[in-house]
Amino acid sequence: MSLHVIVGAGPVGSATALLLAERGDEVRLITRSGSGPEHPGVERVKADATDPEALIRLATRATALYHCAQPAYHRWAAEFPALNASILRAAEATGAVLVSIGNLYLYGQVDGPMTEDLPARPNSVKGRVRAELWAAQLAAHDAGRIRAAEIRGSDYLGAGVVSSFTVMVLPAVLRGRRALAPADVDSPHSWTYTGDMARALVAVADDESAWGRAWHAPTPPPRSIRQLADLAATMADAPAARTGRMPTALLRLAGLFSADAREIPEVRYQFDHPFVLDSTQAQQAFGLTPTPTEDALRETVMAANSA
């Protein structure tokens, strides 16, 4: 039985832990709080992943190390590099293949569907952070120090997801109120299911030929925020959704009280223009089919209603 070590118990880390445990692997899930899903096959460990020596001890004899953690959204630039460096050291010391979750920020604004072949051309601070994290991992891989790969997804759907849609739009829709989003609510946008991120992480970790590059997680055709809101209202038997663009002044006001809201303007381009992920390469390479948006959204709505 192989040991798989996961850093981070967010929606993707938790889904990955459960997927591995269900297939019979030994799973060790590391978080600062010792949290994570309850499962007899998942060992939850309280530890600081920015401490490389502690992480090396916990990842010794691991087959794979999954980097599914991230600092608070407004602390990426300050805290991500140290976390990434610690995980790189652990991968090098233990020989475990490192598979990390990423996103599409490093591409910057792109005209047309995004594929893995696009160069990194970030147009935001967060995009530069993401580009630098992957560049460090890839350089270590190319130098033969580690074996690494990255799985990139778009904005998530699934239980426990925190995003502009789940924070600003979905609660209002479920209450029958008008929902405002800092976005063009009719622009096509890709939504990746957290379970599909987990399946891609495991598939890549298992396949030596998949290492040394980035992959896009299986993702269905895009839906606009308005389409997603309409579908959520129907699923929840709520009044018809009413969605609109959040005025810039209101977003600025929200930024006075929320650190995360202050981060939105620099990545607003993702919602003011088509933001479409092409996952053809991973689907063909690993035989993975994206979970239908309806199923992913249903899980999201059910979790929101039970919170």
pLDDT value of position 265: 85
Instruction: Identify whether 206 is part of a domain.
Output: yes
pLDDT value of position 118: 98
pLDDT at 1 over 80: no
Burial group, residue 33, by CB count within 10 angstroms (0-12, 13-18, 19+):
exposed
pLDDT at 207 over 80: yes
pLDDT value of position 301: 97
Written as six digits, the tokens of 170 are: 């979905």
pLDDT value of position 263: 82
Q: Percent of the chain scored above 90 by pLDDT? A: 91
pLDDT value of position 247: 84
Helices 52-59 + 76-94 axis angle, to 10: 40
Buried/exposed 129-161: b ≥16 CB within 10 Å, e otherwise: bbbbbbeebbebbeeeebbbbbbbbbbbbbbbb
pLDDT value of position 120: 97
pLDDT at 101 over 90: yes
Instruction: Identify whether 32 is part of a domain.
Output: yes
More confident residue, 250 or 280: 280
In terms of residue numbers, what domain contains 41? Answer: 3-157+192-220+277-290
Max CA distance (Å), the chain:
57
Written as six digits, the tokens of 143 are: 């130098």
Instruction: Give the distance from CA 247 to its chain's centroid.
Output: 27
User: Which is it for strands 242-245 and 62-67: parallel, antiparallel or unpaired?
Assistant: unpaired
Instruction: Identify whether 267 is part of a domain.
Output: no
Q: pLDDT tens-digit profile of 11-54?
A: 999 999 999 999 999 999 999 999 999 999 999 999 999 999 99
Q: pLDDT tens-digit profile of 221-268?
A: 999 999 999 999 999 999 999 999 988 887 787 777 788 878 888 889
Instruction: Identify whether 231 is part of a domain.
Output: no
Span 116-121, average pLDDT: 97
The total number of structural domains that make up the chain: 1
Instruction: Identify whether 183 is part of a domain.
Output: no
Written as six digits, the tokens of 172 are: 């209002």
The chain-wide mean pLDDT, for the chain, equals: 96
* CATH at residue 66: 3.40.50.720
pLDDT at 62 over 90: yes
Written as six digits, the tokens of 34 are: 């010792």
Written as six digits, the tokens of 244 are: 């609109």
Instruction: Identify whether 9 is part of a domain.
Output: yes
Instruction: Identify whether 57 is part of a domain.
Output: yes
Instruction: Identify whether 28 is part of a domain.
Output: yes
> Please, which residues bridge with residue 148 across strands?
98
pLDDT at 85 over 90: yes
pLDDT value of position 251: 75
Amino acid at 199: R
Span 157-185, average pLDDT: 95
